[in-house]
Structure 1
Amino acid sequence: MREPGIGTRVAVVAAVSAGYLAAYARPLDGLPPVAWAFAAAAVVATAGAAKAPVPAVAVLAALLASADAAGVPASAVVLMKILLGLAMCEAAARRGLRTSLWTTGLAVAAYAAHTVGSWDSDSWGALFRSATVIAAPVLLGLLAHEKGARAEAEVRAARSGERTAIARELHDLVAHHLASMVLRTGVARHVAADADEEIREVLDDVHTGGTEALRDLRALVAVLRAGEGVGAAGFPDEPVSQAVGDAAERALRLGATVESTVDPGVDALPATVSLAVVRLAQEGLANAVRHGGGRARLSVAVKEGDVVFRLSNTMGSKGNQGDGFGLVGLRERVAVFGGEFSAGPVEGEWVLRARIPAPEVPS
C-alpha cells in the first residue's frame, strides 16, 4: 500500500490545523500575520516528519521556542505544541528509540525556552505539563514501533518457514529425480558410444541440459534456505551474450534454424535483468523448436536505457504457443522490472517481444 505523498500530507495537516484554529481562535481574521506564518511553517514541518523526522521536530521546536518572542498568540502556540507531539509520535513509530532520543532532547530544549517565564510562579506545574506533552507522544510512538517490529518479525518467520518448506520439497523430490535422470543419461551415453551420431548428439544435449538444470535448481535451493531473494540464483557463469548464444546453439542442434543478433552491451546488465534476458531466450527458443520449427530470428539490444528483446519464428502445425506456464513466467519476470511483454501471432509468425528498463546501462 502506497503512503500518501508530501502534498497529501500537507493538505491533511493543514485541514486539521485550520479546523483547530477555527474552533479555538475565533475570529480567524483577528489572528496576526505572524501567527499564520508560524502555523504554515509548522504544518509543512509536520507533513515532512515521515521522511525526515529529526529535522521536522527541530523546526517545530524552534518555532515553539521563539513563538512568545515573536508575539504569536496562545491559540497558535497550542497548535504548534499539538503538531510537535504528532511529529514526535511519528518519529518514534517509524524510527524507534534512537531517533526518539534526539527528538526528545529537541522538544525538552524548546519547552524549557517556552516555559522559562513561568518557572518562578508555577515550577512544578510547568515541569509536569512539559513532561506530559513530551513523554506521551514518544511513548505512544515507541509502542507502535514495537508492535510493528513484532508483526514484521512474525511475517519474516512465516516467509522463512515457507521458503524452507519449498526448498526441502525441491531438493527431496525434483532435484532427486532430476539427478537420477542425469545419471541414467550419462550411462546411456556410455552404452551408446557406438550409436549413430544423431543419437549421441541427442543424449549429449539431454545430459548437458539436465546438468545445467540441476545446477540451477541447487543454486535456487541454497538461496531459499539462506532466506534471501531469488535474485540471480542459477545465473550462468558466462556473459549474457554467450548464454543467449548457447541457447541458440542448442536450438540449432534440435533442428531449428536460428539467426541471432546480440548487442555486446547486454553483458553490462545488472544480474537480475541479465537472468531475465537469458530466460526469455531459453524459453522462447524452446517454444520455437517445440511448436514452430523452421526459421527463428532473435535479437537482443540496448536502446535508450532499455533492453529490447525480440524473437520471431514461423508457426508450425501446433499454432499457439501459449498453452503452458512458460510464457506466464516470462510475463511475470518482465513485470517485476516494470517492463512490457507480448507474445502472439503476427502475420503468420509467432513473435515474442519484451522491453525491460535498465537505465544504468549505457545505450
Structure 2
Amino acid sequence: MADQPGNPVDGWSWAVGLTAAALTVLGQRTPTVAVCGLAVLLVITDRIGTHADVVVLLATMISLVDLALVRRGWRFTAGAISAATAMFVTFVDVPFAQLPLPFYPIIAAVIGCLVGAPVLLGLRLGAARQTAAEATERAVESERQREAEMAAARAIERAAIARELHDIVVHHVASIVLRVGVARHLGSGGDADTKAVFDDVHATGTAVLEDLRRLVAVLREPTTAGDDPPAPVLDPADLPDALDQAVNRIRQSGLPVTVIVDSAMSQLDAVRGLAVLRVVQEGLINVLKHAGPEATATLRVVASTSGEVCVEITDDGGPTKMAPVRGGGHGLMGLRERVTLLGGHLETGPVPTGWQIRAILPAGADAGARPTVAT
C-alpha cells in the first residue's frame, strides 16, 4: 500500500518515525534493546508500505554505532544479527528460493556495508575514547609523580634548613642566653637599671630560642612536607598586650615612642592581628637601628570606618632631622610579602619629619568604626 496525500497510512508514517526517534534516543542507554526494537520496526515498516522505512533504516544504523561503541560479547552479536536480518527481510520482497543466484553476493554486500560501516565507526570512536582516557590517566599520573617529587624536594630542603638552624643559629642563641644568665647572676648587686636590661635581654633571648626550636620542629615534621610551614597563631585578645610588650622593649632601649592604638584591636582576626604585630616589631626595630635612640617615634594602629587597618610608624630622624639611610637586611622585604599576601600594601620612605613605614591591611569580617586610645 503506497502513501498518498490523504491516505490513512500517512498517520502510520508519523507514528513509525516518532517511534524510531524514541528508540534512537533510548540507544544512548541501552543500545542492544534499541537496535533490536528498530529491527522489528524496520520489518513492520516494510510490510505496511510507508515512506518511513528510510528513517527507520538511518535510525538503525545510528543505533549500531552506539552499540559498537559501548557493547561487546553476546549483546553486540545479538544486536548486529537482528539488524542484518531485518535488512535482509526488507530488501527481499520475494521468497528466498526464487532469487536468482547472482543476487546472493549483492544482497550480502549491501547488508554488510549497511551493518559493517556503523559498526566500524562505533569501534573507531570507542578506540579513540579509550585512547583519550588513557592519555588523561597518564597525564594525571604524571602530575601526581611531579607533585610527589616536588614534595620530596621540599622535604629535603626543609631538613637542610632545620639542620642549619639547629646547628648554627639555635646553638649561638642558646649560648647568648646562657651568658646573659650568668651576667645577671654576677651583676645582681649592680643598679636596678642594669638588672632590668639584663632581665629583658634574657627574657627576649629565651623567647627567641623557643621560637627557633618550634620552627625547627615544624621544618622537620614529615606531615608538613607538602605544605608551607604554618604561621604562628596569635589570639586576637592578646594583640594589645603583644603590642605593649613590643613598644616597651623599644622604650627600654631608650627610644621614646608615642602610641595611638585602636581600642578594639583585640577583636581583629588572628591573621591580620599577627601581621599588625610583625609590622610594629620590625618598624620600631628599624627606627632604633637607623634613627638611633635620640630620635622619637610615633606608632598609630587604627581602623577606618570601612574596616581597613592602617599601621603607621613615623620617626623624626634624630636631632639632625635628616632622613636616615635605609638598606640591608630582609625585614622590610618580609613585611611587604606578608602584607601583600593579605591583599594589602606596604609603603616606606621619607616624610617631612623623618621616615615612615605605613601598612594598609584590607577590611575583614570585623569591619566597622573603631575608637582609638592614645598612650
TM-score, length-scaled by structure 1: 0.63
Q: Identify the match of residue 325 of structure 2 among 308, 311, 320.
A: 320
Alignment of 1:239-250 (within 5 A): 239-250=238-249
Give how far 1:236 is off.
8.1
Distance in 1, matches of 2:236 and 2:174, equals: 20
Give how far 1:278 is off.
1.2
Partner residue in 2 for 1:267: 266
Residue range with higher mean Cα deviation, 274-283 or 297-306: 297-306
Partner residue in 2 for 1:225: 220
Tell me whether 1:215 sits opposite 2:216 in the alignment: no
SS of equivalent residue, structure 2 residue 265: helix
Tell me whether 1:311 sits opposite 2:313 in the alignment: yes
Distance in 2, matches of 1:193 and 1:301, equals: 41
Q: Identify the match of residue 184 of structure 2 among 186, 189, 197.
A: 189
Distance in 1, matches of 2:288 and 2:234, equals: 23
Residues 201-247 of structure 1 show CA distances to partners (whole Å, capped at 9, x for unaligned) of 21111111111211221222222222342332385897122111111
Structure with more of its chain in helix, by fraction: 1
Give how far 1:270 is off.
4.1
Residues 41-81 of structure 1 show CA distances to partners (whole Å, capped at 9, x for unaligned) of xxxxxxxxxxxxxxxxxxxx99xxxxxxxx9xx9xxxxxx9
**1:236·1:243 contact (CA, 8 Å) conserved in 2?**
no
Q: Identify the match of residue 340 of structure 2 among 331, 335, 357.
A: 335
Partner residue in 2 for 1:255: 254
Distance in 1, matches of 2:80 and 2:242, equals: 76
Residues 82-117 of structure 1 show CA distances to partners (whole Å, capped at 9, x for unaligned) of xxxxxxxxxxxxxxxxxxxxxxxxx959xx9xxx99
SS of equivalent residue, structure 2 residue 135: helix
Tell me whether 1:350 sits opposite 2:355 in the alignment: yes
Distance in 1, matches of 2:339 and 2:81, equals: 65
Residues 144-166 of structure 1 show CA distances to partners (whole Å, capped at 9, x for unaligned) of 11111101110111011101110
Distance in 2, matches of 1:351 and 1:118, equals: 87
Instruction: State the structure with more CA Rg.
Output: 2
- Please, which runs of 5 or more residues in structure 2 have no aligned partner? 1-27, 30-54, 59-64, 84-114, 369-375
Partner residue in 2 for 1:300: 301
Partner residue in 2 for 1:280: 279
Distance in 1, matches of 2:245 and 2:280, equals: 10
SS of equivalent residue, structure 2 residue 313: strand
**1:341·1:355 contact (CA, 8 Å) conserved in 2?**
yes
Give how far 1:124 is off.
4.9
Residues 277-304 of structure 1 show CA distances to partners (whole Å, capped at 9, x for unaligned) of 2111111111222333332111112332
- AA aligned opposite 1:249: N
Distance in 2, matches of 1:311 and 1:347, equals: 14
Task: Find runs of 4+ consecutive structure 1 residues off by over 4 angstroms.
Answer: 116-119, 234-238
Let me know the Cα RMSD of the aligned residues.
3.2
Residues 245-269 of structure 1 show CA distances to partners (whole Å, capped at 9, x for unaligned) of 1111111111122121222443344
Tell me whether 1:169 sits opposite 2:164 in the alignment: yes
Distance in 2, matches of 1:323 and 1:307, equals: 27
- AA aligned opposite 2:347: S
**2:310·2:361 contact (CA, 8 Å) conserved in 1?**
yes
Return closer, same or farther for 1:117/1:312 CA change in 2, 3 Å cut-off.
farther
Percent identity, aligned pairs only, is: 38
TM-score, length-scaled by structure 2: 0.61
SS of equivalent residue, structure 1 residue 324: coil
Tell me whether 1:361 sits opposite 2:349 in the alignment: no
Residue range with higher mean Cα deviation, 173-182 or 262-271: 262-271
- Please, which runs of 5 or more residues in structure 1 have no aligned partner? 1-60, 63-70, 75-80, 82-106
Partner residue in 2 for 1:139: 134
Tell me whether 1:206 sits opposite 2:201 in the alignment: yes
SS of equivalent residue, structure 1 residue 335: helix
Residue range with higher mean Cα deviation, 304-313 or 256-265: 256-265
